[in-house]
């Protein structure tokens, strides 16, 4: 005796398929990427936006043990934003060491790095929200 197809009950849509991140994991991973923008805004443009890594660090530390996708994407966001912070720090040191004459070169570089980071962070947040693990093209892998 066969069971008619209409009597088979599909699993509820809220249950994730094995291997795919849940909606909550995707959302926290997206927050891990976007929190870098908040950290940069809070530390200010004139402060170099050095706080861009604080948000990803906090989210990664809180969620790394309970959500594997957030662990992966939090580390990725943290590594990228540490790289950006290091680049800004080096450019600021060069500016000061040249008695601000080097600002002719370093300020445009900071602008290019800032806009590029903004674009990559938005792309990463969108991919994380889709459940796709994003890898930044320019990031030092400091946190493993």
Do the domain assignments include residue 114? yes
CA-atom Rg of the chain in angstroms: 20
Q: Which domain holds residue 42?
A: 22-129
Which candidate, 16, 19, 9, 125, places its Cα nearest to that of 76? 125
Query: What is residue 8's predicted lDDT score, i.e. its pLDDT?
Result: 63
Please report, in tens digits, the pLDDT of each residue of the chain (144 residues total): 566 666 666 545 444 545 789 999 999 999 999 999 988 888 876 566 777 889 999 999 999 999 999 999 999 999 999 999 999 999 999 999 999 999 999 999 999 999 999 999 999 999 999 999 999 998 999 998
- By residue count, the chain amounts to 144
Domain contains 17: no
Query: Is residue 6 situated within a structural domain?
Result: no
The residue to which tokens 């990031």 are assigned: 139
How many domains are there within the chain? 1
Domain-embedded: residue 76: yes
Is 42 part of any domain?
Answer: yes
φ, ψ dihedrals at 126, nearest 5°: -65, -45
Angle between helices 54-63 and 23-43 in degrees, nearest 10: 150
Is 4 inside any structural domain? no
In a domain, 26, yes or no: yes
Q: Can you tell me the distance from the alpha carbon of 118 to that of 141, in angstroms, rounded to the nearest whole number?
A: 19
From its phi and psi, is residue 140 left (phi > 0), alpha (psi between -120 and 50) or beta?
beta
Threshold 0.75, pTM exceeds: yes
Give CA–CA dist 37/53, Å, rounded: 9
Residue 39 lies in a domain: yes
- The DSSP result for 70-108, as a single string, is HHHHHHHHHHHHHHHHHHHHHHHHHHHHTTTTTHHHHHH
């Amino acid at each position: 005796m066969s069971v008619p197809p209409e009597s088979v009950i599909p699993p509820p849509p809220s249950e994730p398929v094995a291997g795919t991140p849940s909606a909550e994991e995707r959302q926290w991973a997206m927050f891990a990427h976007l929190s870098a923008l908040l950290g940069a805004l809070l530390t200010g443009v004139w402060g170099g936006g050095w706080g861009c890594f604080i948000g990803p660090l906090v989210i990664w530390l809180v969620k790394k043990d309970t959500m594997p996708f957030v662990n992966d994407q939090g580390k990725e966001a943290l590594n990228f934003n540490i790289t950006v912070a290091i680049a800004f720090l080096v450019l600021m040191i060069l500016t000061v060491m040249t008695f601000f004459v080097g600002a002719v070169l370093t300020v445009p570089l900071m602008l290019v790095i800032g806009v590029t980071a903004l674009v990559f962070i938005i792309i990463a947040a969108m991919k994380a929200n889709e459940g796709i693990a994003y890898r930044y093209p320019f990031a030092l892998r400091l946190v493993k």
